[in-house]
Copies of this chain bind each other. A is one copy, B any other.
Amino acid sequence: MKRLSTLTVALLLCTLSFAQQALWGGAPIVSPEINSDNTVTFRLKAPDNMKVQITGDFLPTQKIQTPYGEFDGPGVADLTLGKDGIWEFTTPTPLSPELYSYSFLVNDLKMMDPSNVYSIRDVASTTNVFIVGGERADLYKVNKVPHGTVSRMWYNSPQLGIDRRLTVYTPAGYETSSKNYPVLYLLHGMGGDEEAWMALGRSSQILDNLIAQGKAEPMIVVMTNGNAALEAAPGESSLGMTAPSMQLPKTMEGSFELAFPEVVDFVDNNFRTVKSKSGRAIAGLSMGGYHSLHISKQYPDMFDYIGLFSAAILPNQGVTSPVYDNLETKLKTQFDKKPALYWIAIGNKDFLYQANNDYRKLLDEKGYPYTYLETEDGHIWKNWRIYLTEFTPLLFKQKTA
């Protein structure tokens, strides 16, 4: 038997049929490169007869005209052609610590950065991402701390008539401990699914880091799919590999909210949980904030901690469900039972700012206590990551003090 002296090269060739560039044709292209001063350089190898641009959430926004009116879209910048056919763009100023997303535009066609394998799907669109570290953004990184376990599992929903997928974070030490843990139910927005808080919200990283720093109690986090007609995220469903759609039936009409105790029962039956109101929190962004508002008042003995992150407040006109009836009566019942925390946060440029303002006025008029956080910017993931880092340290403190 002869030794395979060229084994490594052969393995490389055979498993890299789509990625020759890194093997031959010169040094691999580094993109994005976070420079020592926190400016960031992007590079793309492309022919010289093309228009090569970048669009991303770190560029100044630009107005976009749509049939529904004008709104702020992501900015665009030009790359310039350097030697060796490599196009390049460096941000004119350092970027603040944050998770950023971007795509290239080649002759106006959106494309991923082939040098960057880090991408996230947001609804039906995939973009590259990178993190500029420091300050709060260090919470979004995987650090050398004990890591929780993240499980994708399925529960049966008799009310919705399907098996449904959910994502569960259990904190480091859960497997080897015998104690019961409190649970945060963390809900996504319209177009999202049970992967959104993991991919865009950096939820497992934020929890790992805050728990390791002693700032948040060890807790279980349950990330459900809030689209009542769906089994699971795209590609994970027996409905096939159909593209996701924003136009989902049964999304904000009460059935998800009414069936929510099935999720709580499943979690209580499959994990070592604190099986009482004082051990449960519910929070969500946008549509998930709407779900949290309506679920928590529908089931006023279920959750002691409620978080509304840039929440939608009231149902669309014409939508009827027992969940939405008697808003003020149900709120009175909920607040008479004195929840440990009712937490509202929104950006000052959010299109839901006025609706949240109106809702806070209602709470103020009734004398219902809540905690309020107002941040910059609008209806974006940057805010929802901030809210998760601010909200989770407030949870379950009375339990374990």
Contacts and interface: CB of A to CB of B under 8 A. Distances in A.
A227 to B, nearest CB: 13
Interface of A: 1-5, 7-20, 22-24, 28, 30, 46-47, 49-50, 55, 64, 66-68, 71, 73-74, 101, 103, 106-112, 114-119, 121-127, 130-131, 141-144, 146-147, 149-154, 163, 165, 172, 175-176, 189-192, 232, 234-238, 240-241, 243-246, 252, 269-270, 286-287, 312-317, 351-352, 355, 358-359, 362, 378-380
A115 B243 CA distance: 8
Contacts of A189: 11, 15
A142 B237 contact: yes
Contacts of A107: 46-47, 49-50, 106-107
A192 B244 CA distance: 28
A151 B154 contact: no
Given A147-B165, A191-B16, A358-B1, A109 B46 contact: yes
Q: Which 4 A-B pairs have the closest CB atoms?
A: A111-B111, A19-B125, A14-B379, A149-B153
B115 A126 contact: no
22 contacts: A3-B315, A4-B316, A11-B191, A12-B190, A14-B378, A15-B191, A18-B110, A18-B127, A19-B122, A19-B123, A22-B246, A47-B108, A47-B109, A106-B106, A109-B111, A117-B125, A119-B119, A142-B237, A149-B153, A151-B151, A151-B152, A176-B269
A87 to B, nearest CB: 11
B109 A126 contact: no
Nearest to A112: B112
A119 B124 CA distance: 12
If over half of A's interface residues share one DSSP class (helix, strand or loop), that class is named, otherwise mixed; here it is: loop
Given A15-B191, A106-B109, 12 more contacts: A1-B355, A3-B317, A10-B351, A11-B286, A13-B71, A14-B286, A15-B189, A24-B67, A109-B111, A112-B126, A116-B243, A118-B234
Contact of A238 (B119, B143, B240): B143
B15 A117 contact: no
B359 A1 contact: yes
A381 B30 CA distance: 28
Identical copies in the complex:
2
A66 B23 CA distance: 9
Nearest to A18: B125
Nearest to A101: B18
Nearest to A233: B117
B11 A118 contact: no
A351 B252 CA distance: 55
A287 B11 contact: yes
A89 to B, nearest CB: 16
A16 B125 contact: yes
Given A4-B355, A8-B190, A142-B237, A15 B126 contact: no
Nearest to A150: B152
B175 A313 contact: no
Contact of A151 (B149, B191, B313): B149
Contacts of A142: 232, 235-238
B16 A312 contact: no
Contacts of A154: 146-147, 149, 172
A359 B1 CA distance: 8
A68 B114 contact: no
A142 B286 CA distance: 29
Contacts of A68: 9, 13, 24
Contacts of A286: 11, 14-15
